[in-house]
Amino acid sequence: MAIAAIRCETIRVVFDNRTGKQTILDGLDLDVPIGQIVTLLGPSGCGKSTLLRVVAGLTQATEGTVTIEGKSVAQSQNKLAFVFQESALLPWRTVWQNVRLPWELRRGLGAGELQSRLECVLELVGFKPADWNKKPHQLSGGMKMRASIARALITQPDILLLDEPFAALDDMLRSKLNDLLLKIVEQTQTTMLFVTHNISEAIYLSHSIAVFSHGRIGERIEVDLPFPRTAAVRSSPEFAAMYGRVSQSLARNASV
Ligand code: ADP
């Protein structure tokens, strides 16, 4: 069997809340192939963020195992980076200084290499040099998110975990940033595990969609639309048919 970027086996997560024990993930299995975008889709509260946090090693699973390229999560911290819904940039730092922060924390690169890597990721996400010295309050919501993605890429992770990164943005910006993620995967072969509520976004971005059902993946849908994904793909009858199929799966899997 080919080695997966991420392999989750029989993951169980039980939280001890005030109201008693709550089982959020209940024997969940998921494989994410190397270099692909896999989207987690499901209603609010079904456990998508919890699964992402388990993969990142931020939440401990009650049972089950996660392996990253065949190794344990603890051995793989430098392979992973997380992008949250809030860009979480430090307000007193410029774009350049924010993006270099993970490098400062890890101290893995020489100054020359850092400089060229910073230039490379900022260019990749669409920042002009004139904007590199701006502070977060001088940036639009879309530019803040671009800086947040650049910060995640600075350590050259093999895997990006993205938790509804574009939920607060309007549709136009969301489409532009979807295209940015596709460009990043094409140019860097980064694997992405992406959480969204948005069916169109899930279809447009993904190689496959994992639909949640009662703490597990109820259905895995391969998105057999051609790459590169373009505006023409978005308006094709095949896209509309896929939308219908995913909506039905979501309704079926979420029902009791
Ligand atoms: P989703 O991302 O699908 O919206 P979450 O994974 O954020 O869902 O949350 C699933 C459920 O787990 C929610 O009911 C949430 O309140 C609960 N939950 C999440 N994290 C914790 C925690 N650390 N302690 C207790 N309950 C939690």
Instruction: Tell how far the Cα of 48 is from the centroid of ligand 1, in angstroms.
Output: 8
What is the structure's pLDDT at 255?
A: 72
Q: What are phi and psi of 8, to 5 degrees?
A: -110, 125
Cis peptide leading into residue 228 (ω within 30°):
yes
Residue 12 lies in a domain: yes
Helix axis angle for 171-188 and 111-124, nearest 10°, is: 130
Pocket test for ligand 1, best of 8, 28, 39, 50 (most atoms within 8 A of CB): 50
**CA-closest residue to ligand 1 atom 25:** 15
Q: Which residues of the chain have pLDDT under 50?
A: none
Give the CB-side neighbour count of residue 160, counting CA atoms within 13 A. 30
Residue 37 lies in a domain: yes
Instruction: Tell how far the Cα of 122 is from the centroid of ligand 1, in angstroms.
Output: 33
- Which residue stretches of the chain are H helix? 48-56, 95-99, 101-106, 111-124, 141-153, 171-188, 199-205, 231-234, 237-254
Mean pLDDT computed over every residue of the chain: 92
Report the C-alpha dihedral over residues 126, 131, 134, 135, rounded to 10 degrees: -10
CATH number at residue 173: 3.40.50.300
Instruction: Tell how far the Cα of 55 is from the centroid of ligand 1, in angstroms.
Output: 15
Q: What are phi and psi of 61, to 5 degrees?
A: -70, 145
What is the structure's pLDDT at 248?
A: 96
Residue 99 lies in a domain: yes
Residue 33 lies in a domain: yes
What is the structure's pLDDT at 210?
A: 97
Could you tell me the residue range of the domain that residue 159 belongs to? 6-255
Number of domains in the chain: 1
What is the structure's pLDDT at 15?
A: 94
What is the structure's pLDDT at 107?
A: 63
Q: What tokens were used for 70?
A: 């065949």
Report whether residue 20 contacts ligand 1, using a CB cutoff of 6 Å: no
What is the structure's pLDDT at 109?
A: 66
Residue 1 lies in a domain: no
Residue 223 lies in a domain: yes
Evaluate whether 162 touches 192 at the Cβ level (below 8 Å).
yes
Q: What tokens were used for 176?
A: 């532009």
Give the CB-side neighbour count of residue 143, counting CA atoms within 13 A. 16
* pLDDT tens by residue, 129-145: 999 999 999 999 999 99
What is the structure's pLDDT at 200?
A: 94
